[in-house]
Structure 1
Amino acid sequence: MLNKLIHYFLENKLVTMLLILLFLAWGFVTAPFGWETDFLPSDPVAVDAIPDIGENQQIVFTQWMGRSPQDIEDQITYPLTTSLLGIPGVKSIRSSSVFGFSSIYIIFKEEIEFYWSRSRILEKLNSLPAGILPTGVQPTLGPDATALGQVFWYTVEGRDNNGNPTGGWDLHEIRTVQDFYVKYGLNAVDGVSEVASIGGYVQEYQIDVNPDILKVYDIPLHKVMMAVKKSNRDVGAKTIEINQAEYLVRGLGYVKSIEDIEKAVVAVHDNVPIRVKDIGIVSLGPATRRGLLDKDGAEVVGGVVVARFGSNPLQVINNVKDKIVAIAPGLPKKVLANGVESQLTIVPFYDRTQLIYETLGTLEEALLLEILITILVVIVMVLNLRAAILISSLLPLAVLMVFIAMRYFGVDANIVALSGIAIAIGTMVDLGIVLSENVLKHIAEAPKTQKLLNTIY
């Protein structure tokens, strides 16, 4: 079969040249080095700086606020772990129980497809028997990303028109903008699995009850909680018709301010309603936190962009940067006490593109130099210009064909893969030299009347 194929291409030079041109163009399209042409599209290999050698892993995360690690282990981690053991393709399960939450790491066999494993986990979580977990506890599946998915970190800071830091913003203000504007905008970027907020304070309504007043009115604490919970809801009703027009009837009760909570009725004592403001103080304050984000010794608010499994990290980062430019004009601004106008600005402080470009640049330069040096060595060894050009032309063609295979077999272009290509060039050159010397020897020994095709083949 191989002999017939070689003979066919030797006889049909036009087909051979057309096929070479096809592979050259296709290789340029899939090359990871950012080569741009006006007449060819761009569909490059996924590019990253380092290879992802992590295990085929999924994470199940469960929160149970205020509970000790022992309670988490006994009532959440152990029941979930034993239930998830029956999933097909599971190699091992590891778990961690800490204060307030449980993390379960499900390791699948390498041949198991990533998203297939996620669907099996969701099926198992949805079919858990009633009562196996505490009331109100809901396990969630982690983002569809790997350990190397954190490709872009940023902070949200107040800057003036010249880009200088101004300050003047409270941490809870910046965190609110991050959670309800920046995060949603970046979550919509193609290839982004998750945008995680970090730092600052999450603002919440807080009620400081007076225990002495509760004792006087004989009101238990859970009754206060239920009163506040029931006061924060709308009530639907039927419709009424007036002048042949239908109107919807509903009771409006969602909490929109501190005063709405203060007016919530907790109990009635001697026909007098006891409201929340009568038994405590309602205020806006920061939620409890167990960590912060520090930048150059100052506390800041920021976020982490996680790239989706199988996406092109370089393309994801570029898409995120484009989205940041698009949403930047909509970020809030205010005039500070010193008269300076400060606008919140998204400032990157970890950007993997620099590492990716440096890796690609180093290996691109190494490949080009290696090919040039190899061409000179081949010319010196073979002492035949036609043979040297033939052998040397195999190198870039073979590298471009490797990029095509990497693109469609899902292999990232990273420092390990590109270094392997550089090492393999020596093997390709050796084979080309051996075959070319053999062909040149047969041509020298063959009669002059013999056809070149018969001599070679």
Structure 2
Amino acid sequence: MLNKIIQFSVKNKLVIGVFTLLWIIYGVFEVTRLPIDAVPDITNNQVQIITTAPSLGAEDVERLITFPIEQAISNIPQLKESRSISRFGLSLVTIVFADDTDVYWARQQVAERLQKVEIAENASIPEMAPATTGLGEIYQYVLKPQPGYETKYSLEDLRTIQDWTIRRQLLGTPGIADVATFGGKLKQYEIAVNPSRLKAQNLTIKEVFTALSSNNENTGGAYIEKGPTVLYIRSVGLTRNIKDIQNIIVKNTQAGTPILIKDIAEVKMSSAIRYGALTTDDIGESVGGIVMMLKGENANNVIVNVKKRVAEIEKILPKGLKIEPFLDRTKMVDNAIGTVQKNLIEGALIVVLVLVLFLGNLRAGFIVASVIPLAMLFAIIMMNTFGVSGNLMSLGALDFGLIVDGAVIIVEAILHHIHSAKKYKGVDTISQEEMDKEVTGSAGRMMNAAVFGQIIILIVYLPILSLEGIEGKMFKPMAQTVAFAILGAFILSLTYVPMVSALFISKKVSHKPNLSDRIMAKLEGYYERGLSKALQVRKSIVIGAFVLFGIALVIFSRMGGEFIPQLEEGDFAVETRLLLGTNLSTTTETIQKISTALKNKYPEVEKVVSRIGSAEIPTDPMPIEGGDMIIVLKDKSEWTSASSFPELADKMTATVKEIAPGVTTGFQFPVQMRFNELMTGAKQDLVCKIYGEDLDKLAKYAEQLGAISQTVKGATDLYVEKVTGMPQIVIDYDWAEMAKYGIYVSDINQTVNAAF
């Protein structure tokens, strides 16, 4: 079978030439479609459910929102696990499905279950987070006033522009799942009721709520016929400005005098209570956004589309504003793909040099070397077919020595037979027909050996293809890409290599040893002498080999191990925590002080942007006493304070401790941190969870475990999650006293809710 394919390839050179040309054209086309990213996406298959309830405490959120949702989704097919976070005013439930589950089917199942959940009245409708992954936050930016316009735009103005101009424009970009707003102040009308005036008019806060809700709505009245036409009826009752709100009637007195909102309250523009902020090292508080990519999209293409849309949006922004990115996936992708590109080019050059040197034939060397790009094109075609992205693991795993193995065997056999065959002794040139016969015969004889070698290589990668879970997502692309490339090289060895060898290898027969022959003769001489001496001391050689093997085992047992080496993404993401119960203003001031100090002290720092608390889409539900500092660094070649990322992180940690004692920091890379959080619910590399019913005991055991962890060599950036100790003002009702005055709990709750 294989010999017939080789014969066909040599006889029908035009057919194989056209086949190769089509191979190249289709391969180049597929290269433009290959999804490019830095690393494989190892995020598990999950759906997040977000519910906000600004007036509920953590215990009430857990009891009234989180628990009912967890009960409702507990019987969904293919569910692996679920975990939740209940904070003041926020519930986040994460549901993890099996890896082979279609994420959109999973979201449909979750949506059906959520319709049956009864949620507290003062909570929002549960919503699913965007269908994105740990690699989804591809573009993060800050909306900044340009020099000279710092005082023109308030945080309310910036937030309004972000929500109603930038976000709405970005949502139309292909491949975007959503855009989360971070920081700023959400503009709203505030009605500050004066308790004394309210009491003087004998009114309750409930009546104020009723008046406001009853005087802010539109409706319609179908239509009426007037002559040959119809007139559609529409009422416009929505309030449009402060004056409209001020003139809303609350109640009429006994004398018939209307009591208006302006009689009992002050109406003004204000902002909603904030649960997050965004700061930069130069201007302080600002407004920004996080662009989240849809799961399964091509990150490279989506980033290009986002940048084009941002350039268009900047043209319609008010004068003096600009969109400044601070975290762009392009940087990380370029770093990773640049490393792969450099290694592949260097590897290819080394392979070509060795081939030319040892084959002793320039044409033969380039014929074998040409298999490398052709096999890579085939691998890319197959990667697109099977949904494998181009990244550090997949493309970086390619070994050109393995790819050209079969071609080397065939070409070397052709050259050897032509120059050593007795029938060509005294012949200086052979004809094309004789060359075709030699290529067919030599390739046919050696093809079995080439195939056997390639099969052995493929068998080595079979165990990797059986991996599942996170390990499978990380290492399967490597095995698949290598297998695709070797399969491509095998096809080329049967078709392209025999055809091009018969066509381009020189038909002149040289009977003198060339440079390669002389080098190989010397190497063979050295080897024979060394082998002869080794055979004289067989026992010593065997004993020495076993001793070295034993030493290697001892060294190996003492080596550290990790799942994968950390990818240096180019920037730092620093999880920063203050004391439990710290307010948003104090957190913002402290993190701003740290950011400014790091920027001024370390010339490696280009900018520092801090995300404090939660975003508008709280997929990363940080409390208001915590935040993530994104430290954007210059190229490593420009560093002066440190030579490595760990060294720079250690120095920055020491600086933070000097500036703000008691602040806990954890230095990681942005994508690494996001992966950790989505897979385990925590941002640290190693997480220990303790389960139980009593929160006080859990907190006690957590502190004990933290103390033990500090004694472990190599443990840094230790953080113990606080589940108790949040400062609260608790209002306990006296039911007997309430009964005396005829007051309902709901009335008091409404008053408390309105007052704070």
Relative to 1, partners in 2 of residues 1:241 and 1:119: Cα closer, same or farther, differing over 3 Å? closer
Which residue of the other structure, out of 261, 269, 274, is the alignment partner of 1:276?
A: 261
SS in 2 for 1:416: coil
Q: Are 1:318 and 2:301 an aligned pair? A: no
Name the CA distance, whole Å, in 2 between partners of 1:287 and 1:180.
17
* Alignment partner, residue 84 of structure 1: 73
Q: Are 1:289 and 2:266 an aligned pair? A: no
* Alignment partner, residue 654 of structure 2: none
- Structure 1 contact 157–167 (Cα < 8 Å) conserved: no
Which residue of the other structure, out of 241, 249, 254, is the alignment partner of 1:265?
A: 249
Instruction: Give the letter for the 2:408 counterpart.
Output: I
Name the CA distance, whole Å, in 2 between partners of 1:28 and 1:84.
46
Q: Which has the higher strand share?
A: 1
* Alignment partner, residue 192 of structure 1: 176
Name the CA distance, whole Å, in 1 between partners of 2:300 and 2:128.
26
- Alignment of structure 1 residues 27-426 onto 2, 5 Å: 27-31=27-31, 43-126=32-115, 128=116, 132-135=118-121, 137-159=124-146, 166-242=150-226, 244-270=228-254, 271-297=256-282, 298-333=284-319, 343-421=320-398, 424-426=399-401
SS in 1 for 2:404: helix
Instruction: Give the letter for the 1:437 counterpart.
Output: E
Runs (5+) with no aligned partner, structure 2: 425-433, 445-756
Relative to 1, partners in 2 of residues 1:285 and 1:10: Cα closer, same or farther, differing over 3 Å? same
* Alignment partner, residue 39 of structure 1: none
Relative to 1, partners in 2 of residues 1:94 and 1:389: Cα closer, same or farther, differing over 3 Å? same
SS in 2 for 1:415: coil
Identity, % of aligned positions = 33
Instruction: Give the letter for the 2:372 counterpart.
Output: L
Instruction: Give the letter for the 1:283 counterpart.
Output: K
SS in 1 for 2:33: coil
SS in 1 for 2:119: coil
Q: Are 1:451 and 2:437 an aligned pair? A: yes
- Structure 1 contact 442–456 (Cα < 8 Å) conserved: no
Q: Say which is worse superposed, 319-328 or 351-360, in terms of deviation.
A: 351-360
Name the CA distance, whole Å, in 2 between partners of 1:327 and 1:286.
25
Bigger Rg over Cα: 2
Kindly state the Cα deviation for residue 11 of structure 1 after the two structures are TM-superposed: 3.9
Kindly state the Cα deviation for residue 268 of structure 1 after the two structures are TM-superposed: 1.9
Name the CA distance, whole Å, in 2 between partners of 1:98 and 1:9.
69
Kindly state the Cα deviation for residue 167 of structure 1 after the two structures are TM-superposed: 4.1
* Alignment partner, residue 12 of structure 1: 12
Kindly state the Cα deviation for residue 243 of structure 1 after the two structures are TM-superposed: 5.5
Q: Say which is worse superposed, 230-239 or 438-447, in terms of deviation.
A: 438-447
Runs (5+) with no aligned partner, structure 1: 32-42, 334-342
Higher RCO structure, 1 or 2 (CA under 8 Å, sep 6+): 1
Relative to 1, partners in 2 of residues 1:174 and 1:373: Cα closer, same or farther, differing over 3 Å? same
SS in 1 for 2:133: coil
The C-alpha deviation readout for 1:173-202, integer Å capped at 9, x for no partner, is 111011101110011111111111111100
Question: TM-score by structure 1 length?
Answer: 0.87
Which residue of the other structure, out of 400, 408, 427, is the alignment partner of 2:402?
A: 427
The C-alpha deviation readout for 1:363-382, integer Å capped at 9, x for no partner, is 22321221111011011222
Q: Say which is worse superposed, 101-110 or 134-143, in terms of deviation.
A: 134-143
Kindly state the Cα deviation for residue 295 of structure 1 after the two structures are TM-superposed: 0.7
Instruction: Give the letter for the 1:310 counterpart.
Output: G
SS in 1 for 2:393: helix
Name the CA distance, whole Å, in 1 between partners of 2:184 and 2:360.
70
Question: TM-score by structure 2 length?
Answer: 0.54
* Alignment partner, residue 569 of structure 2: none
Kindly state the Cα deviation for residue 165 of structure 1 after the two structures are TM-superposed: 6.1
Name the CA distance, whole Å, in 2 between partners of 1:278 and 1:87.
55
Q: Which has the higher helix share?
A: 2
Instruction: Give the letter for the 2:86 counterpart.
Output: S
Kindly state the Cα deviation for residue 171 of structure 1 after the two structures are TM-superposed: 0.9
Kindly state the Cα deviation for residue 288 of structure 1 after the two structures are TM-superposed: 0.4
SS in 2 for 1:451: helix
Instruction: Give the letter for the 1:140 counterpart.
Output: E
Q: Say which is worse superposed, 323-332 or 435-444, in terms of deviation.
A: 435-444
The C-alpha deviation readout for 1:389-442, integer Å capped at 9, x for no partner, is 222111111112112222222222122222112xx2121233433343345445
* Alignment partner, residue 35 of structure 1: none
The C-alpha deviation readout for 1:274-313, integer Å capped at 9, x for no partner, is 2111111111101100221111151111111111111111
